[in-house]
């Protein structure tokens, strides 16, 4: 049995501190997983778009931190116990969930690797390439452009940059003719050059 639920920007969809009997799949909008710190700051560890499962690790009672809507969002709500039972009865479904889990792990490893890079243009370029590849799979890109309804604060929280540093990196990417970003719409002007700069290989986000 499934249902849908709507969330406003900033609302919590899932919090690992709460024992929820549900699983949540993004149907509309954007969300993010994040870990919060005592000083009020946060580190975004993943962006969630249409089709993404918000809280897969909750099946094993693992911690995913907090998942919050970055835009108005709609999620499909599943019963966790029913999903677990279905996985036991249907091996193909279980394999699909394993594939999702492996992609999440691979993505997190790549994000960690790029977080440690000193060249933040490479880091931000990689994020843009990744989002483009993921959005293409759900038909949300037009050639090399897509809506990017993320504030500078959100992009900074995802890349470990200050807001000032992020603005400088974006300005440099514009100056170099790599991108345009206007009214939350990103266009990659030189896709091949950006992929080379970012050393982007989409293999880690391909389903098994």
| All domains in the chain, ordered by first residue | 2-89 (2.60.120.10), 114-205 (1.10.10.10)
Percent of the chain whose pLDDT exceeds 90: 75
pTM: 0.93
User: Which band of pLDDT confidence, cut at 50, 70 and 90, is reported for residue 28?
Assistant: very high
Q: 106 pLDDT exceeds 90?
A: yes
pLDDT attached to residue 63: 62
pLDDT band at 22 (very low <50, low <70, confident <90, very high): confident
- Give the integer Cα–Cα distance in Å for 119 and 124: 9
Q: What is the pLDDT of residue 1?
A: 64
Residue listed under structure tokens 């999903």:
83
Tokens of 131: 């989002």
Give the separation between CA 38 and CA 171, rounded to whole angstroms.
Answer: 31
Asked if pLDDT for residue 58 goes beyond 90, the answer is: no
Give residue-wise pLDDT tens across range 115-135. 987 789 999 999 999 999 999
CA 159 to chain centre: 12
| Tens-digit pLDDT profile for residues 160-183 | 999 999 999 999 999 999 999 999
CB-based contacts of 164: which residues, under 8 Å, 6+ apart? none
Predicted local distance difference test score (pLDDT) of residue 62: 60
Distances (CA, A) of 49 to 129, 149, 198: 15, 11, 22
* Distance in angstroms (rounded) separating the CA atoms of residues 9 and 70: 5
């Amino acid at each position: 049995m499934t249902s849908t639920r709507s969330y406003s920007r900033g609302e919590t969809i899932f919090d690992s501190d709460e024992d929820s009997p549900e699983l949540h799949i993004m149907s509309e909008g954007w969300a993010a997983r994040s870990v919060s710190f005592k000083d009020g700051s946060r580190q975004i560890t993943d962006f969630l778009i249409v089709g993404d499962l918000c809280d897969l690790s909750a099946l094993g009672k693992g911690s995913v931190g907090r998942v919050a809507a970055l835009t108005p969002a709609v999620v499909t709500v599943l019963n966790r116990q029913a999903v677990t039972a279905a996985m036991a009865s249907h091996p193909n479904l279980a394999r699909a969930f394993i594939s999702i889990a492996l992609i999440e792990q691979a993505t997190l490893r790549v994000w960690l690797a790029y977080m440690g890079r000193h060249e933040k243009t490479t880091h931000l370029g990689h994020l843009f390439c990744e989002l483009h590849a993921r959005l293409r799979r759900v038909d949300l890109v037009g050639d090399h452009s897509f809506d990017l309804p993320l504030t500078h604060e959100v992009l900074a929280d995802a890349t470990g940059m200050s807001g000032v540093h992020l603005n400088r990196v974006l300005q440099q990417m514009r100056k170099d003719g790599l991108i345009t970003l206007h009214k939350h719409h990103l266009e990659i002007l030189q896709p091949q050059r950006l992929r080379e700069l970012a050393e982007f290989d989409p293999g880690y986000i391909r389903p098994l």
